[in-house]
């Protein structure tokens, strides 16, 4: 959802229109090349006698409000991305889920405070790295990878599944599932899942 918000805001802030064209986007005037002011006289009759300075003020206010929205959304979106990146690193390292809030975040704050100051350190308070959040992010990413893998298998003309049951050092049975399939004209082999019994 955050990427959608950013995409919408960035498209709204593009500078591809002239001032009159931007005012038209507000619904007040037609673009100068249209040669008609139908919208102004029919839909916005109360605005037809307003001077151009009024529309320029409206445009400035709109730009300022968009800047406020962007400044509020951007740190939150960056914090969410940072949380996913940290969760991925924690999972790859095989570390306990609580290491994010107990070691990583305090360390990052201390380093940032020394190197960049208090203002930058406060931004790190937006990064959620609690045990539950990290676990949830890891599950979300794992589900995403699994869904992509399943979509690749569905699009493949051929696939095969290999099952292997092994026992670990504490004598628990593990069922491993491998899949081989065709994707983009080449043979791919991936680890699909593991079940513990």
Residues 129-163 have pLDDT tens digits of 999 999 999 999 988 888 889 999 999 999 999 99
Q: What is the mean predicted confidence (pLDDT) over 50-71? A: 74
pLDDT of residue 27: 41
Range name among 7-21, 41-55, 89-103, 125-139 with the lowest pLDDT average:
7-21
Closest to 161 measured CA to CA, from 171, 173, 153? 153
pLDDT classification of 5: cutoffs 50, 70, 90: very low
* Residues 133 and 91 sit within 8 Å (Cβ to Cβ): no
pTM reported for the whole predicted model? 0.57
pLDDT of residue 180: 94
What does pLDDT average to over the chain? 76
Residues 21-48 have pLDDT tens digits of 433 444 433 333 343 456 666 777 777 7
pLDDT of residue 38: 61
pLDDT of residue 179: 92
pLDDT of residue 71: 55
């Amino acid at each position: 959802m955050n990427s959608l918000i950013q995409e919408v805001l960035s498209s709204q802030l593009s500078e591809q229109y002239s001032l009159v064209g931007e005012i038209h986007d507000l619904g007040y005037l037609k673009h100068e090349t249209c040669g008609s002011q139908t919208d102004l006289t029919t839909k916005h009759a109360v605005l037809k006698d307003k001077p151009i300075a009024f529309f320029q003020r409206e445009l400035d206010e709109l730009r300022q409000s968009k800047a406020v929205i962007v400044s509020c959304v951007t740190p939150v979106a960056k914090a969410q991305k940072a949380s996913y990146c940290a969760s991925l690193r924690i999972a790859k390292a095989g570390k306990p889920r609580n290491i994010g809030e107990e070691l990583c975040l305090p360390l990052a704050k201390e380093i940032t405070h020394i190197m960049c100051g208090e203002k930058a350190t406060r931004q790190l308070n937006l990064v959620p790295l609690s045990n539950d959040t990290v676990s949830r992010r890891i599950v979300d990413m794992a589900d995403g990878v699994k869904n992509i893998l399943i979509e690749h298998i569905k699009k493949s003309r051929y696939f095969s599944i290999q099952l292997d049951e092994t026992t670990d050092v504490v004598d628990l049975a593990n069922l491993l599932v491998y899949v081989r399939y065709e994707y983009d004209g080449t043979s791919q082999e991936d680890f699909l899942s593991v079940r513990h019994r």
